[in-house]
Structure 1
Amino acid sequence: MFAEPDVEREDRPDGSVVFRSRAPLGPYPRSVAAMLRDWAEADPAHPLVAERAGDGWATLTYGEVRDRADALGQALLDRGLGPHRPLMILSGNSVAHFVLTLGALTAGVPVAPISVAYSLLSTDHARIRDIASLLRPGLVFAEAGGPFAAALAAVEGPGVVLAYDVDAVPGAESLDDLLATAPGPELAAAYAATGPGTLAKVLFTSGSTGSPKGVLNTHRMLCSNQQAIRQAWPFLAGERPVLVDWLPWSHTFGGNHNVDLVLRNGGTLYLDDGKPAPQLFGRSLENLRSVPPTLYFNVPAGYAQLVPVLERDPEFARVFFSRLRLLFNAAAALPAALRSRLEAAAAAAGADVPLTGSWGATETAPAVTSAHFPFTDARCIGVPLPGLAVKLAPVGEAHEIRVRGDAVTPGYLHRPDLTEAAFDDEGFYRTGDAAVPASGDPNTGLLFGGRIAEDFKLDTGTFVRVGALRTALLSAVPLLSDVVLAGENRQYIGALAWLNQAEARLAGPLDEADGCLVHAELAGQVAKLLAAMNSVAGSAGRVERLVVLAEPPDLDAGEITDKGYLNQRRVLARRAALVERLYADEPDVAVIVAG
């Protein structure tokens, strides 16, 4: 099922270590559009993409998607779009979004899918305006006019195309009108001119800075990355995957890794209109019951919602695991306790399904490493994929992961200053993440160490690795969905946390006290679990106090990035008063003290 790791290690005099796969990267398609056209030629009737329609699914085949993509590609060219006039997409995953993206890529038009949160959750749409100013789009698409009217108004100048509710935005065109376009020689010429070096996407990421920056994604990046994944997972060459996936296409995990994996391997993508949030996860469960996937991709927050259901609903677990080949986790380390429960749920359903993971970035298309071998440490991110070199470079007390190869971005849109700063003198992309070798054997992979900028020291000089401790805390206290750690220049570590509704089964209502949730049973359980964790940890791994926050992370305030990750330092700065409560001489009623 998986390729055997075969990695070489080079130790350098400056303390850096370089890892490379000995397997050469094989040939790959020249563009994402070529993946679609190759499969449409080979098997036009095979289903490619489906979305919910009533109690069933509305499906388009490879041939139907190619025909729609050709019509839309010509329509975009007719409206003056091209390599320097990209398509901006404000709405989330949908069949319309999918075919419009492939139409743009067929015509050599870059696509910029924008986080839906910037349109629907933001109150000032400042980031939408900033992105549009940098991107300079030739056209903007949204699924429906009404919900996106305010965001569309923030993007001044370009034309607007809507799939529904066209009358809500004056001057907007209907997607159906674009689909009626007959493809001509202009499209054929534009497709022929598209190659590995052509810009395919601009993905906007704010990282820890809060300022959107446009990451250039070329066809070389996307296609080489899929070839590398296929070499690590050779079973894909003979098994066309079926995905039921919610991960947003504004993020490289969902939009590049998963969508392109389906296109590269002739698979089928079912659009999951749920997500791992208490009010929406039931929809995901309905979709997974309807179409059991062969590959399942999620993030730790998603697995935290899924595992309790698998444990209490054996029939759902049987359906879910019925044809599953692998489980895949990315975005952050999966807490060890959650991993163990997931493996136990699979075994109880009679399934032997490997749990694997990967590491990468928006700037790397995204996969750099893959854990395509058995491992037990939850921090394991695997070994470098073919065609990529990984350097662990000393930075302070950590070793930064740096990457070079075909899947690495050429830089940032209209920001030569950011591009220059992003690479070292050997051309390795500086990721800002830390890792260490799992052992002296390079084939055992790397262990993720978190974001270097998030780490801090206590006033004793003890160095706290935030990424590793965060994962350990969420594993030890599954009642929590996420945490931010405090303690820089303090005597001990404290935490701001959010409740995991899927795990919390408490008697009586939760009270609120100055922004924190208060509940005696919750406090007792958390205090006991913290004490158990602390009893086997050193000072760098002990969390002495914790508050459970009532207010979710705020997008407009920069507390979460476009990818949905917590911005550790922004949360601590914005909620400084709550941090002070953690360190008060006499803790108030909302502060949970480790038992």
Structure 2
Amino acid sequence: MPEIQGARLFADPAVKVETRADGVLVLDNPVSLEPYARCVGQYLEHWARVAPDRKFLQERGPTGEWTGVTYKVALGQVRRIAGWLLENHKRPDHPVCVLTDNTVEHGLLMLACMHVGIPYAALSPAYSLVSRDFAKLKNLIQRLDPEFIYVGGVQRFVPALEAIKGLHQANLIVSDADTPPESALRFSDLLTGSDGPAVEEAFLRVGPDTIGKILFTSGSTGYPKGVINTQRMMCASQQAKRQVWPLLLDNPPILLDWLPWNHTFGGNHNFNMVLANGGTLYIDGGKPLPGLFDQTVRNLRDIAPSLYLNVPRAFDMLLPVLRADAELRRHFFSNLQVIFYAAAALPQHLWDGLIELSRQELGHPVPMVTAWGSTETSPLATDCHYQADRSGVIGLPVPGVSIKLIPSGDKLEVRVKGPVITPGYFKQPEETAKVFDDEGYYRIGDAARFADPENPAAGLMFDGRVSEDFKLTTATWVSVGALRVKGIEMMAPAVQDIVVTGHDRDSVGFLIFPNAAVCRKLANLPEDASLEQVASHPAVLDHITRGMKALRDAGTGSSTFADRAMILTSPPAVDRGEITDKGYINQAAVLKARADLVDRLYKSDPDPLIIRL
């Protein structure tokens, strides 16, 4: 097992495999899940006693300094906000809704709701700030019918708030830094609540089945579904994480993190991991987007995280910066125990690059690990709590979780059962009934395969979405997930993401979202060059063509490479569900929204924007 200064980082990998007569495999962790907290609020109460003056939530202040709350201050404010909510929240089953990004105020309000059993629901800020028609925002607000809506930076949300007028009865709460609209409350008004017996009584009533959060799926095939997250789910998930990551017990995590709390990765895995283990969360105002990533780099110059958890797109942007900046590189690795990627498969060249830099800086590789799950699994179902030999290994079931692998064509469909699984979808009983099988396993829709069929303890590998794979007219199956990752690797670093085409056609094609900054450098174009200029430049087309040829040469048949591609000249759209807040491209949504481009890709007429092998 990897160790740092004699301290063990991870538990030994182990799995128990049952093979049924019908070919179904059931995988369980042989280690039992130990008792876990009754509710998330117990973590806050504990650390406010044990480490009252330790920094808990921190953010950049108006003049650039880090500011926030300790565990003691956080508990005091959470209990006062909870007291105010108990007095003023008149419809118990109606959630408090948050539209804004991660902030200290947002975190305190979230914790206050969960402390006394009031449902909390955070919606993607993109539905308010990026969307043009506000369709998803309107739909979710109508379905939630919230009691209160909190917005920080209210001026940015004025068009969205106008769009939902008349669709709810909620009172508006704004940040203390805002000029409040008429009749709106300030966040500080909530701090006038009383931390009296009512708060303690409500806190003690919160149990494992109490709804803590309503988190929404990406809504790729319709409007997002509201996933009920109970206290049991979140606390069982954190206990399982502690058991497979014993480093958390002796090393309170230090995180610099931007991942949105309206998603399970940021809101459950990362936020709750800091809280459960008495760590410190520095809220990163940056994101892996052009113009915003500079803020992340600035923050990394201040904060040396002990764990760095992010999505592949962020690592794609971080790697060249670390290579070019020795001082930043030294600081980044100075306190780092683990690098963790999730939300999408990490291309191998990024994996290799990060390991190379850690060896260069420290003399040994920092473990590169991941986990797997979904909003419905809160999100921990498997964890790769060991150093795999390559990217893509999602690990083994965590304690308390059972994985069922069902033969489906040439793949193994994954289903999941355990205390980390949602009881269902908010006000959507029909959708709930569809996703559980007759043994109570959740049908997650993913496929997996063994990294080493002769050694199950080597873990599972993500094998794509069952619904994304398709057949060519030759009756050959195309494994979309694996081909996408391999294609990105072969065309790196010019490609940001790939959408795989070819359903019921003779060959595979690619719709390519370019890495615009890299392509402009390849083509020696100015920084403000349009995507149209990028997509048609000979240097870019040549780089993509060479990558496609390399993919073909490494392939084993027509399903393992693309013989045509188009570089897209418009970014993925939030309104059409093409991209999530975490930067993950939804294959099905892109194919539906850009069906005309798919048709164009397969026409025989000459087209200067289509690359053909």
TM bucket, shorter chain: over 0.9
Is it true that 1:151 corresponds to 2:168 in the alignment?
Answer: no
CA distance in structure 2 between the aligned counterparts of 1:549 and 1:81, rounded to whole angstroms: 50
Does structure 2 retain, via aligned residues, the 8 Å contact 1:379–1:468?
A: no
Q: Structure 1's 132 and 562: CA in aligned 2 closer, same or farther, altered over 3 A?
A: farther
Q: Deviations over 1:15-49 (max 9, x none)?
A: 21110000010111111111011100111111101
Q: Deviations over 1:309-363 (max 9, x none)?
A: 1112222111100110000010111111111111111112125310000100000
The aligned counterpart of 2:544 is 526
Runs of 4+ aligned residues of structure 1 deviating over 3 Å after TM superposition are 164-168, 501-504, 509-513, 561-564
Is it true that 1:240 corresponds to 2:273 in the alignment?
Answer: no
The aligned counterpart of 1:402 is 415
Secondary structure of 1:349's partner?
A: helix
Does structure 2 retain, via aligned residues, the 8 Å contact 1:457–1:463?
A: yes
Q: Deviations over 1:234-280 (max 9, x none)?
A: 11111111000010111000000000000110000000000101211
Give the superposition deviation at 1:569.
2.0
Does structure 1 retain, via aligned residues, the 8 Å contact 2:310–2:340?
A: yes
Does structure 2 retain, via aligned residues, the 8 Å contact 1:402–1:430?
A: yes
Is it true that 1:445 corresponds to 2:462 in the alignment?
Answer: no
CA distance in structure 1 between the aligned counterparts of 2:39 and 2:237, rounded to whole angstroms: 12
AA aligned to 1:181 is: G
CA distance in structure 2 between the aligned counterparts of 1:373 and 1:56, rounded to whole angstroms: 37
AA aligned to 1:65 is: A
The aligned counterpart of 1:474 is 488
Structure 1 unaligned runs (5+)?
none
AA aligned to 1:550 is: T
Give the superposition deviation at 1:558.
2.6
AA aligned to 1:477 is: M
The aligned counterpart of 1:508 is 525
The aligned counterpart of 1:28 is 36
The aligned counterpart of 2:100 is 91
The aligned counterpart of 2:89 is 80
CA distance in structure 2 between the aligned counterparts of 1:62 and 1:424, rounded to whole angstroms: 42
Give the superposition deviation at 1:395.
3.1
AA aligned to 1:17 is: L
AA aligned to 2:279 is: G
Give the superposition deviation at 1:584.
2.3
AA aligned to 1:533 is: L
Residue identity (%): 41
The match for 2:535 among 517, 520, 523 is 517
Give the superposition deviation at 1:470.
0.7
The match for 1:571 among 570, 590, 594 is 590
The aligned counterpart of 1:463 is 477
Give the superposition deviation at 1:129.
1.6
Q: Structure 1's 408 and 283: CA in aligned 2 closer, same or farther, altered over 3 A?
A: same
Secondary structure of 2:275's partner?
A: helix
Q: Structure 1's 175 and 74: CA in aligned 2 closer, same or farther, altered over 3 A?
A: same
The aligned counterpart of 1:296 is 308
AA aligned to 1:547 is: M
Does structure 2 retain, via aligned residues, the 8 Å contact 1:308–1:502?
A: no
Is it true that 1:545 corresponds to 2:564 in the alignment?
Answer: yes
CA distance in structure 1 between the aligned counterparts of 2:417 and 2:263, rounded to whole angstroms: 21
The aligned counterpart of 1:491 is 506
Moved more, 540-549 or 195-204: 540-549
Does structure 2 retain, via aligned residues, the 8 Å contact 1:113–1:203?
A: yes
Question: How does 1:96-175 map onto structure 2 within 5 Å?
Answer: 96-153=105-162, 154=164, 155-164=167-176, 167=179, 169-175=181-187
Does structure 1 retain, via aligned residues, the 8 Å contact 2:531–2:570?
A: no
Give the superposition deviation at 1:387.
0.5
CA distance in structure 2 between the aligned counterparts of 1:579 and 1:246, rounded to whole angstroms: 34
AA aligned to 1:72 is: I
Does structure 2 retain, via aligned residues, the 8 Å contact 1:82–1:107?
A: no
CA RMSD of aligned residues (A): 1.6
The aligned counterpart of 1:560 is 579
Q: Structure 1's 442 and 83: CA in aligned 2 closer, same or farther, altered over 3 A?
A: farther
Does structure 2 retain, via aligned residues, the 8 Å contact 1:166–1:172?
A: no
Give the superposition deviation at 1:206.
3.5
AA aligned to 2:228 is: L
Give the superposition deviation at 1:150.
2.5
Moved more, 463-472 or 390-399: 390-399
Q: Deviations over 1:389-415 (max 9, x none)?
A: 001123344321111001000001111
Q: Structure 1's 121 and 511: CA in aligned 2 closer, same or farther, altered over 3 A?
A: closer
The aligned counterpart of 2:400 is 387
CA distance in structure 1 between the aligned counterparts of 2:55 and 2:213, rounded to whole angstroms: 25
Q: Deviations over 1:154-202 (max 9, x none)?
A: 1521111001465553311111111122222221111110011111000
Does structure 2 retain, via aligned residues, the 8 Å contact 1:159–1:172?
A: yes
Question: How does 1:192-203 map onto structure 2 within 5 Å?
Answer: 192-203=204-215
Q: Structure 1's 294 and 177: CA in aligned 2 closer, same or farther, altered over 3 A?
A: same
Give the superposition deviation at 1:379.
2.1
Does structure 2 retain, via aligned residues, the 8 Å contact 1:456–1:464?
A: yes
AA aligned to 2:535 is: L
Give the superposition deviation at 1:78.
1.4
CA distance in structure 1 between the aligned counterparts of 2:531 and 2:201, rounded to whole angstroms: 62
CA distance in structure 2 between the aligned counterparts of 1:437 and 1:389, rounded to whole angstroms: 16
The aligned counterpart of 1:263 is 275
Secondary structure of 2:59's partner?
A: strand
Moved more, 552-561 or 453-462: 552-561
Structure 2 unaligned runs (5+)?
1-8
CA distance in structure 2 between the aligned counterparts of 1:317 and 1:75, rounded to whole angstroms: 46
CA distance in structure 2 between the aligned counterparts of 1:464 and 1:484, rounded to whole angstroms: 13
Secondary structure of 1:152's partner?
A: helix
Give the superposition deviation at 1:144.
2.4
AA aligned to 2:496 is: S
The aligned counterpart of 1:341 is 353
Is it true that 1:277 corresponds to 2:289 in the alignment?
Answer: yes
TM-score, with normalisation over the residues of structure 1? 0.97
AA aligned to 1:91 is: T
AA aligned to 1:471 is: V
Moved more, 215-224 or 309-318: 309-318
